[in-house]
Amino acid sequence: MGDERTRQSYDAVAAEYALHLSDELSYKPLDRALLGMVVEGATSGRPIADLGCGPGHVTGWLAARGVAAVGIDLSPGMVAIAARDHPGASFRVGDLRDLPASDAEFGAVVALYSLIHLTPDALPVAASELHRVVEPGGAVLVAFHVGEEVRHVTDWWGHGVDLDFRFFETELVAAHLESVGLAVEAVVERAPYLEEVATRRAYLLARRPSDR
Ligand SMILES: C[S@@+](CC[C@H](N)C(=O)[O-])C[C@H]1O[C@@H](n2cnc3c(N)ncnc32)[C@H](O)[C@@H]1O
């Protein structure tokens, strides 16, 4: 089944992924700025979740800013590396479509390039999980590759993988977030940085409406 392929693929590539990408925020100023906004706005003291955290470098970046940070990922191999490399954050194995988290547990959630492995029919389920686990008034930041392509990859840094990278139109993801009750506040698209795979990138900053 697709999820098992994704999990096994990321388990296989986890160590290499950490070696290649753990310092990526150093050359991604827009990502740092958006994550900084999320940190600035999360004032309730509840942790910030990094969903599909991979080797935990973004979780670690959040924790280094003085907030409690929790990374969650489908791949136990990724979670093991994240916990090893980022002792200041905590990590859980879990699925975006059925998150191991309680309702409104988090002050904000980010999901950078993790929705990209979901089939289109799973997007509404994941969107409703994002809405469920963030507290009222909390921010949701997602990032993905823009388009309609599905890029199938079988070799990644010499490791055999079986992965579908799904690109999404920005309006489609925004509509899914809005349909579960999240208010989309900002839509940003950018060209790739030189160090990145040459795809157009989108960021959506949304918010669960406050109860008040
Ligand atoms: C391209 S990596 C992105 C990692 C990290 N967020 C980053 O920006 O470098 C995708 C990650 O999403 C995880 N992932 C894929 N499908 C998932 C799912 N259904 N639930 C949770 N994590 C998932 C993978 O295991 C992998 O670590």
pLDDT tens per residue across span 62-101: 999 999 999 999 999 999 999 999 999 999 999 999 999 9
Nearest one of 135, 144, 146, 61 to 101, comparing CA atoms: 135
Q: What's the gap in Å between 113 CA and the centre of ligand 1? A: 7
Q: Is the CB of 142 under 6 A from ligand 1?
A: no
Residues sharing a CB contact under 8 Å with residue 186, sequence separation 6 or more, in sequence order: 203, 204, 205
Q: How far is the CA of 102 from the centre of ligand 1 (A)?
A: 20
Complete domains list, the chain, with CATH: 2-207 (3.40.50.150)
Name the percent of the chain lying above pLDDT 90: 98
Supply the pTM of this predicted model: 0.97
Nearest CA to ligand 1 atom 17: 74
Ligand 1 atom, smallest distance to 50 CA: 6
